[in-house]
Every structure is written in C-alpha cells, then in structure tokens.
C-alpha cells in the first residue's frame, strides 16, 4: 500500500478489510495470500557454473592463445612427432588459461552471496492477531492486513503501519535502512507529507529493523518484494557488474595487440609463399605447414601469456599492502580502480565520525550573583573509552573535576539515571556499548569526571586494567545509591527520573530535554560554593541562550540534569515528583569527527578527488559536521552544495544534473537517493567510490565503481562491496587510493616491460623469416622466456616504491589509454633493439665466431637448399643448438637489463637505482639461475633444445644486451626534457591504441 504514512489508521484498516481488535479471519488470509503472495524475498537464479566458466574465456587474446595451442597440438599429431616436447607448449598454455578461469569463477561466485545475506534480515516468526486471538506464526505466512504485535528486541517481520502504541514510548533502530546514528521514536500520528523519505515516516515500522524500546501493534501494509528491504533486494539484483577501468584498458590493449599479431602472422606466411616448394620441406603442403608453424610461433611470441598472471600477482601484492592499512580487498581489480577514483561518496556516521556519541560541552551555573552566571567546560575524548579530561573555557585542564560541586552531582546523575552500560571486549580490544548512545555518552562522562575524596584519584584510576576501569566510577555511584523506582522517558514529559536512597537520604535524579527540565526547576546548584539558590529569570534566560548556541550553532544534542530531595521512605515515583527540581548541569554531545578526517579530505582535494558526504541525519547536523572536517569552509555559501533527499527530488532533471556537479552534501537520504547519486555521477564519467555499512547502502555499493563497506557494518553491505575498512576510517580510503595509484603506475611498468620484450620476440622471428635464415627460437623456448624468466622480474616491478607525489596529481581520465602513442613508440624502439640483437647473436655464431662454421651470408640464407656432400660444410650445422642458445641467452639477458629500465617510467637509473627495489634484483638473480639451470642440466637442455655456452659466447651475449640501458636512458631523457614538444605531441595526437570516448554502460 502506497502512502500509508499519510493516511489515518482507520483508512488503512478499511483498505485491507481488517479489524484492529480481531485481525483477519482465515478466509481473508487465504484471499490476501492469493493476491499478494508470501512474505519472502524472491530467489535469484544465479548464473550456471558452466556459463561462468565459458565467460572467463570470452577474451580475444585468450581465444587466440587457445587457437594457437590447438593448432600446435594438431600439427604435432599430423607430423607424427613423438615425445613430450611437441606437446609441451599447448599443454602449458591451456593450464595457464584454466588457472585464470578458476580464479574468475571463484570471484564471481562470491559476488552472489550478498543477495543471500540480505535474507538474514527477515524475521523468522511474528506474533499476529487473527480471529481475535494472538498466535505465533512463521513470518513468511504474514499477509497485508494482518495485525502484528511487536516488543523490545523484536525484528520487524514486514512493513507495517502503527495502529496502537501500548507503552509510553516506542523506539526502533532502523540504522541498517536509513543510516541514522540513533534509534528513532515512533508514533501512530498521521504524517501529511506526500513525498516523505523513510526517516519522516515515523508511523511506519520497516521490515528488518529492531524495536529497542516499548511495545505496539501495527497493520501489515507490505510484504516480501513490496517492503523497503524488498526494494533494496530488487535494486541489488538489477545491478550489472561492469568492467573496471584497468580491465577495460587491458581489453582494449589486447584487442589492438591481437589485430597487430594477426596482421604480422599473415604477413610472415604470405612473404614466405615462395619458399613453400623448397626441397627441405618435402613438398608445397609441408612447406605451407612449416611456415604456418612459424606464424603460430610468432603469435605465441607476441602474446604476453604471463600478463594475466602478473597483473593478478601485482594486484594481490596490493591487497597485502592495503590489509596492513586496514583496507581488506574482496575484489582484486578494485585495488587498481581506487587509483583512478574521482569522487568519494562517504557515509557520515562511523566513517567520518567515530559513531560513538560523546559529551563535548558542559554548562553549569557558577554563581547567580555574577554578571555572567554560567560557565562552560570542554570535554576531550571522542570514543567510549574512559579517556579524556575536563577543561575550562581557556582550555586549561581541571585537575580534580569531582571536587567541583556541579560536576560531582552531574557524575552522580549520569551514573544513576541511566540504563546503558559500557564494557571492554578483551578479545577484540575495543569498547562496546549496550543501550542508547546518549546514555552511554553521559556514562563515559562520569568516568572522565572521576571520584572525589583524595588527590591521587586521577592517577590511581590508571592503575586498573581496561576491563576494571571502563565503568569503575559508575559502579562506585551505583553502590552508593540504591535504586528504588524508575519513571521511564515519555514523549509527553521528555524526561526520565530515578528514585534512590543514599545515607538515609532519598533523592530523585532526573535527565531529559533541557526545555522540559528548565520548566520543572525552581532552584539551581551553584558550582563555586555548592549552595542551592532560586532559579531566577536571568539564569533561565542565560541557559536558554546557551542551549540555542549549543543546538543551532554547534548542532550538539543537549541533555539537562537535575535532582531533588524527597521524604525518607518514599517508595514510588510519579510525574508529580518531577517538579521543584534543582538544576545541576546541561551537556552538549555529538558523534564527533575522527581526528584524521580533516587532513584526509585535504589530501583528497590536492589529489583532485571530490568528497560528497551522504547521510540519513538532519541537514543542520550534517552541515555542521562538514564545516568541522573541511568539506565546507566556515563561511561558505551552501546554496547549491547541500541538499536533502526531498529537496533534490523537487529539482527538474536538468537542474539535478547541474546540481550533481557542485553538491558536497546529501542529507536525509534514503537508499534510492544513494543509487541515484552513483548513477548520475557515472553518467558524467566520474569514477565513483561509495562507502556504507547498512543494508540500505548495499545497492549503491554494488552499483559504484568501487563499493567500500565498514568492518562494523552488516554482512549485506560487506557482501555487496569490493573492499572492507577494518577500522571504519575515511583516512584509510585516502591511503588506499594512494596505493591504488601506485599499483597502476607499477602495472604500466610491467606491461611496458613484458610488451617491449614480446615485441622483441616478434621482431626476432619476423626478421629470421624475412631474411630466410633458420629459426632462431623454437616455440617451447619462447614459452619458457615469457612465463618464467620474464614473469619473475615483471612481478617484482609490482614492488616499485610509491611516488612521493602520487597524491598531488589529478586522477587519470577514463578515456586515457593505458599506453599512449609516445610510450608505445618507446616499446617499439626497445622491442626492435631486443629483436635485432637476438637475431644478431644467432648470425654471429654462423658467420663470425672463431669456433663456428664461418659461413657466408648467402650460405646462411639458402640453408634450405643444403644437400649433404655437395657443400664444403655439413648440413647438420643448421641443427646445432649453439646459435639458438645464444639467441635465447641474448633475449633473456637483454630483458633482465630492460627490467632495470622499468624501475621508473621516466626517471634515470642514476636517480632511481636498482636497490630501490631489492625484489627486482632477487627476481633477476633467480631468472638467470633458472636460465643457467636449463643450459647446464642435461635433461632440461634436451627438453628446451639448448646447450652450455663458452665464456666467449657469454661475453658476446653480454655486450649485445647491455646497450638497451643506454637506449632507454636516451628515450627517458627525451620524455623528461621534450615533454609537450613536437615529438610528444605528434604521438599524443595519433595514439596507436584505441581509446573509449564514452563510458561503457
């Protein structure tokens, strides 16, 4: 039923043909169940396992690798080859692809759990009135029109309209739906607002929320998918997982690389058509197959098979670093996504604030005789820990607060007139509250005030363990004052009172809304001398002015304390006893901002990241917090920068689009507003990080580019998120963004390394085919280099140190290619050199090496025509393993030097020496050790068709490889000093790689 909050109880009951005193009868229940269905969230059909598996292979590079593996396998079978070597290459390729697919399936399976976890917030049973009798039924059996009774601790089983409150007060904790920091009071009164948000629907009980105070009856108005929780479920199930920026750029790069590879392979095959009939092949068909194998080898060489594994490894390293920062990553790609975040939509409660209500101000009457009778104290400490001090108006610490009369009575009242508790959890090493946040705040205040009696009290308290200290002072007062009766808080009185006895004296302690306490006071306690004097008009006016200052200027939540003496022996307490009170003190409390948040927001600003605060709390409270933490400056005009959810809904679509560009605060929002905000920002090509902790946040977390849940949040929010903040701290997000940027820079470096190396392999094979010389490298050698010797240094590049200026540059644009034109030109230059020297080492052995055959050029290029006995040399020299081993060794060594080049994109090795990344030195050492292993261990040498090299051969390998460092130093010099010049602009204007101009939806 829509709009039930704006209709009277009788109208709602009439709509469902229900009776408030008898409920529905069995026939009506059956009819309504036929119409509305069962009170259950719909089951979502997940993607089948095999569809998930096939999805992992829906990538162009992967498809090319699969085709290459299959062709290699078929060619080996057709040629009748035996042994392990011919089948090694396709087997390894398929094993790598299978491993990557397994990781992808596991990741996507975990993502489906969020929808299942949402069902945990459905109640199991409900107390329902049917046929005039109360009975307990499964919550799934409820139908609209049912009359349900709820009490303290009950989980609301469906959306319901209050019909009757059976206690003096009804409060409900609906933070998981609205994000409000405290439980809210409910009433059965009509709310005439047509477009009320959840927070304004004070006569509606929402499914999944919990009753914290009171007892009531309500009529069911929505079940299953038609509840507020059901709408969240629908929004989550409709959210489509999209590619992260890195995945998108890698796919674009892969598509481009695939086209280049296909073109080169075809070109190599076509160029060699004239060689198909060479006698060495034994026929045109076999010649065509031979050069087709070369084309396949070229594809294997060009595709960086290890790239997915290295990217995954680098992101995994990032998750470990983030875990140390209290950021637990659930989705690996989100590590990098953080790096290009342009907008952070942050929840207020618990993220920007501590989510621990604490007293920050105390106002007492110093003396009625003074011109300014009031005095204010400041209280430090922003958590539930009994850590903090009382300070005077000049910010000087009060050494013994309990020696001041008003503060002493304030501590008594805070301890006795209180139903909450605080305890220290030894296992989690945290302070935990039980009860209302405001009551917990004044209980903690009593600990900060301490006890009177001896001068060593403040220091002696520190001698206790945390478990003993947490409520030591409160326990002391509870032992001194024996409670006799309690008068609970009610809306009409707006206060709570406790009757107690101490030392043959009976007292009433009261706490409540300041205006209610002021009305009932006839005297005040003076702080300077402890005398009780009349509550004069002057004092009342001063207190009301101070209340206005606390509430409006500082947006503090205020409570006032009072007491009175009653006749000894009184055993009952009534509202009549709450008059002729003596005013003690007024306290102002707030959910304080975290100390490190202000500097974290400043870092976001310098990094070009916009922060938008999104909260369910009131506009005034939220604006005040935003001024404290630096989202707004003290005198900023907030028009156009601060909206409530209702205000934003009233704007036209064009006005909303313009408002999204400037807004910094959304207050009084409901779940749909958060999702709308994420969608609107993404339509404007922003990369959005959204934080949240409640069930209400889950749809927005799932829709955002990166969803960040709080460690203390609900399982639903965590399940829908990409990352969880263990410490619930906004500053952790900023640290994670810096790490994400560093990871992206490192990703670019090892992509540069691997691609330039692979280009070298392509050039090597292409040159050999074009020149007509024997194969310099066979596929199994290329596969070993790509996966093992290249893979380790590439992974080690993920340990490159974070740039000190990483948070002083703007986020990269969504359409920025992962490799721009100038960078790709550098790839080609370095790759061409790698390929050239690899072939040069091969040719050197045949033509110039003293221990080699010393052939002539035309003898090398016509090796196919060699006939044994007709030449001055044996044709078997073309089967010698030395030249191929030299080529492979040159390729390995030159790539180790090239790894050193990639410590920094543009910084010289003189400025960024190798010992800046010791892991890279270790990786290069291990890679070379593995290369020596296959050269000097005979079974492996046979498997990879290599042989040990002499010292002379190693010298040639070294001197051919070393100049790659000098060449890259020259290119880095150009990048640093000709930045923005004609060379750079030329390649920026005509990027070799495709760019997405619009965001993929």
- The mean pLDDT of 189-209, rounded to a whole number, is 85
Q: Which two tokens stand for residue 901?
A: 């080049």
Beta bridge partners of 48: none
Percent of the chain with pLDDT over 70: 82
Q: What pTM, to 2 d.p., does this model score? A: 0.65
Distance between CA atoms of residues 288 and 273, nearest Å = 7
* pLDDT class of 164 with cuts at 50, 70, 90: very high
- The mean pLDDT of 49-64, rounded to a whole number, is 68
Long-range CB contact pairs, 370-378, < 8 A, 24+: 372/542, 373/538, 373/539, 373/542, 374/539, 374/542, 374/543, 374/546, 375/527, 376/546, 377/401, 377/407
| 3-class SS of residue 630 | coil
Q: Which two tokens stand for residue 103?
A: 């990781």
* pLDDT class of 394 with cuts at 50, 70, 90: very high
Mean pLDDT, rounded, of the chain: 82
Beta bridge partners of 510: 497, 562
**pLDDT exceeds 50 at position 985:** no
* pLDDT class of 915 with cuts at 50, 70, 90: confident
Selected residue with higher pLDDT from 229 and 127: 127
Check if the beta carbon of residue 497 is closer than 8 Å to that of residue 508.
yes
- The mean pLDDT of 185-196, rounded to a whole number, is 85
| Sequence-separated (6 or more) residues with CB below 8 Å from residue 736 | 322, 325, 327, 338, 723
DSSP for 699-752, please give it: HHHHHSSEEEEETTS-HHHHHH-SEEETT--HHHHHHHHHHHHHHHHHHHHHHH
Distance between CA atoms of residues 840 and 872, nearest Å = 24
pLDDT of residue 326: 82
**pLDDT exceeds 80 at position 748:** no
pLDDT of residue 583: 97
**pLDDT exceeds 50 at position 153:** yes
pLDDT by residue (tens digit) across 296-328?
A: 666 666 666 556 666 666 666 777 777 788 888
Q: How far apart are the first and last CA of the chain?
A: 34
Residue 803 class from Cβ within 10 Å (0-12 exposed, 13-18 middle, 19+ buried)?
Answer: middle
* pLDDT class of 96 with cuts at 50, 70, 90: low
Distance between CA atoms of residues 483 and 416, nearest Å = 8
Query: Which of 74, 98, 59, 97 has the alpha carbon at shortest distance from 296?
Result: 74
Q: Which two tokens stand for residue 648?
A: 């934003």
Whether 577 is catalytic is no
DSSP for 353-393, please give it: B-S--EEEEEEEE--TTSSS-EEEEEE---SSSS---EE-T
Q: Which of 278, 347, 775, 790 is catalytic?
A: 347
* pLDDT class of 271 with cuts at 50, 70, 90: confident
pLDDT by residue (tens digit) across 551-605?
A: 877 888 899 999 999 998 899 999 999 999 999 999 999 888 888 889 989 988 8
Residues 350/356/357/362 CA torsion (nearest 10 deg): -120
**pLDDT exceeds 80 at position 6:** yes
| Sequence-separated (6 or more) residues with CB below 8 Å from residue 186 | 162, 165, 170, 171, 172, 202, 203, 205, 216
Query: How many angstroms from the chain centroid is the CA of residue 134?
Result: 46
* pLDDT class of 763 with cuts at 50, 70, 90: confident
- The mean pLDDT of 732-744, rounded to a whole number, is 82
Selected residue with higher pLDDT from 680 and 702: 680
Distance between CA atoms of residues 699 and 710, nearest Å = 15
**Residue bearing tokens 């280009």:** 759
Residues 918/919/920/922 CA torsion (nearest 10 deg): 90
384 conformational bin, left if phi > 0, alpha if psi -120 to 50, beta if neither: alpha
**pLDDT exceeds 70 at position 455:** no
DSSP for 488-555, please give it: ---TTT-EEEEEEEETTEEEEEEEE-HHHHHHHEEEEE-TTT--EEE--HHHHHHHHHHHHIIIIIS-
User: What sign does the CA torsion over 670, 675, 681, 684 have?
Assistant: negative
**Which H/E stretch holds residue 909?**
none
What's 789's DSSP letter?
Answer: I
What's 773's DSSP letter?
Answer: P
Q: Which two tokens stand for residue 695?
A: 């069930």
Residue 83 class from Cβ within 10 Å (0-12 exposed, 13-18 middle, 19+ buried)?
Answer: exposed
**pLDDT exceeds 80 at position 176:** no
pLDDT of residue 993: 38
Distance between CA atoms of residues 96 and 80, nearest Å = 26
């Amino acid at each position: 039923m829509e709009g039930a909050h704006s209709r009277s109880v009788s109208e709602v009951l009439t709509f469902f043909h229900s009776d408030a005193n008898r409920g529905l009868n069995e026939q009506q229940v059956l009819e309504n169940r036929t119409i509305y269905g069962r009170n259950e969230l719909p089951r979502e059909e997940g993607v089948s396992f095999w569809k998930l598996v096939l999805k992992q292979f829906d990538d162009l590079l992967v498809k090319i690798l699969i085709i290459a593996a299959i062709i290699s396998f078929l060619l080996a079978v057709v040629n009748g080859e035996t042994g392990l070597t011919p089948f090694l290459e396709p087997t390894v390729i398929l094993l790598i692809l299978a491993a990557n697919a397994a990781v992808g399936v596991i990741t996507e399976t975990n993502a489906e759990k969020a929808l299942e976890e949402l069902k945990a917030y459905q109640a199991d049973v409900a107390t329902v009135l049917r046929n005039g009798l109360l009975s307990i039924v499964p919550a799934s059996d409820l139908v609209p029109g049912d009359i349900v009774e709820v009490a303290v601790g009950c989980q609301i089983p469906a959306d319901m309209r209050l019909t009757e409150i059976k206690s003096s007060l009804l409060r409900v904790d609906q933070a998981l739906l609205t994000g409000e920091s405290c439980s809210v009071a409910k009433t059965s009164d009509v709310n005439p607002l047509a477009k009320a948000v959840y927070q304004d629907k004070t006569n509606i009980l929402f499914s999944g929320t919990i009753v914290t105070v009171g007892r009531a009856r309500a009529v069911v108005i929505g079940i299953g998918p038609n509840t507020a929780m059901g709408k969240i479920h629908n929004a989550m199930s409709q959210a489509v997982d999209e590619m992260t920026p890195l995945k998108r750029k890698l796919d674009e790069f892969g598509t481009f690389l695939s086209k280049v590879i296909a073109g080169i392979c075809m070109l190599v095959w076509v160029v060699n058509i004239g060689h198909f009939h060479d006698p060495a092949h034994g026929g045109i068909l076999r010649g065509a197959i031979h050069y087709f194998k070369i084309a396949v080898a070229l594809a294997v060489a060009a595709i960086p098979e290890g790239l997915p594994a290295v990217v995954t490894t680098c992101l995994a390293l990032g998750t470990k670093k983030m875990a140390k920062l209290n950021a637990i990553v659930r989705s690996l790609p989100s590590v990098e996504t953080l790096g290009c975040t342009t907008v952070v939509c942050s929840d207020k409660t618990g993220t920007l604030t501590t989510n621990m209500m604490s007293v920050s101000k105390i106002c007492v009457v110093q003396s009625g005789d003074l011109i300014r009778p009031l005095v204010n104290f400041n209280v430090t400490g922003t958590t539930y820990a009994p850590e903090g001090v009382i300070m005077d108006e000049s910010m000087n610490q009060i050494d013994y607060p309990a020696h001041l009369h008003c503060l002493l009575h304030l501590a008594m009242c805070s301890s006795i007139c209180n139903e909450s508790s605080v305890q220290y959890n030894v296992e989690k090493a945290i302070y935990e509250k039980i009860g209302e946040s405001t009551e917990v705040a004044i209980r903690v205040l009593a600990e900060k005030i301490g006890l009177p009696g001896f001068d060593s009290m403040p220091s002696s308290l520190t001698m206790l363990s945390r478990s003993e200290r947490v409520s030591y002072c409160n326990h002391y007062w509870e032992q001194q004052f024996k409670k006799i009766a309690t008068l609970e808080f009610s809306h009409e009185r707006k206060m709570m009172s406790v009757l107690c006895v101490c030392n043959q004296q009976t007292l009433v302690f009261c706490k409540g809304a300041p205006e209610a306490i002021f009305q009932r006071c006839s005297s005040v306690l003076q702080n300077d001398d402890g005398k009780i004097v009349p509550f004069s008009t002057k004092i009342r006016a001063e207190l009301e002015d101070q209340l206005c200052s606390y509430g409006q200027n500082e947006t503090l939540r205020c409570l006032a304390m009072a007491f009175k003496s009653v006749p000894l022996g009184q055993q009952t307490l009534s509202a009549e006893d709450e008059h002729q009170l003596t005013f003690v003190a007024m306290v102002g409390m707030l959910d304080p901002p975290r100390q490190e948040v202000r500097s974290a927001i400043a870092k976001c600003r310098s990094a070009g990241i916009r922060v938008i605060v999104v909260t369910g709390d009131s506009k005034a409270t939220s604006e005040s917090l935003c001024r404290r933490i630096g989202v707004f400056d003290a005198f900023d005009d907030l028009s156009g920068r601060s909206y409530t959810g209702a205000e934003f809904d009233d704007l036209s679509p064009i006005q909303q689009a313009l408002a999204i560009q400037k807004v910094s605060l959304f207050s009084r929002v409901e779940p749909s507003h958060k999702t709308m905000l994420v969608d609107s920002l993404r339509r404007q090509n922003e990369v959005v990080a959204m934080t949240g902790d409640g069930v209400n946040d889950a749809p927005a977390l799932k829709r955002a580019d990166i969803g960040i849940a709080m460690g203390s949040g609900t399982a639903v929010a965590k399940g829908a998120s990409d990352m969880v903040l263990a410490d619930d701290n906004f500053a952790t997000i900023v640290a994670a963004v810096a790490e994400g940027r560093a990871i992206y820079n490192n990703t670019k470096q090892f992509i540069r390394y691997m691609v330039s190396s692979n280009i070298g392999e392509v050039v090597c094979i292409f040159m050999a085919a074009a020149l007509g010389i024997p194969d310099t490298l066979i596929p199994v050698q290329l596969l070993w280099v790509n996966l093992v010797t290249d893979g380790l240094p590439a992974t080690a590049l993920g340990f490159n140190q974070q740039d000190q200026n990483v948070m002083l540059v703007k986020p990269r644009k969504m359409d920025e290619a992962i490799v721009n034109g100038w960078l790709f030109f550098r790839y080609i230059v370095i790759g061409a050199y790698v390929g050239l020297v690899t072939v040069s080492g091969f040719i050197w052995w045949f033509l110039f090496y003293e221990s080699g055959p010393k052939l002539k050029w035309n003898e090398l290029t016509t090796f196919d025509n060699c006939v044994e006995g007709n030449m001055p040399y044996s044709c078997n020299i073309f089967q010698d393993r030395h030249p191929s081993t030299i080529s492979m060794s040159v390729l390995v060594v030159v790539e180790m030097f090239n790894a050193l080049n990639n410590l920094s994109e543009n910084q010289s090795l003189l400025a960024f020496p190798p010992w800046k990344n010791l892991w890279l030195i270790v990786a290069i050492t291990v890679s070379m050790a593995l290369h020596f292993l296959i050269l000097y261990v005979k079974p492996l040498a046979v498997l990879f068709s290599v042989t040990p090299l002499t010292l002379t051969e190693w010298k040639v390998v070294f001197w051919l490889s070393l100049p790659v460092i000098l060449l890259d130093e020259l290119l880095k010099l150009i990048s640093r000093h000709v930045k923005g010049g004609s060379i750079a602009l030329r390649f920026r204007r005509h990027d070799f790689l495709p760019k997405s101009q619009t965001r993929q939806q």
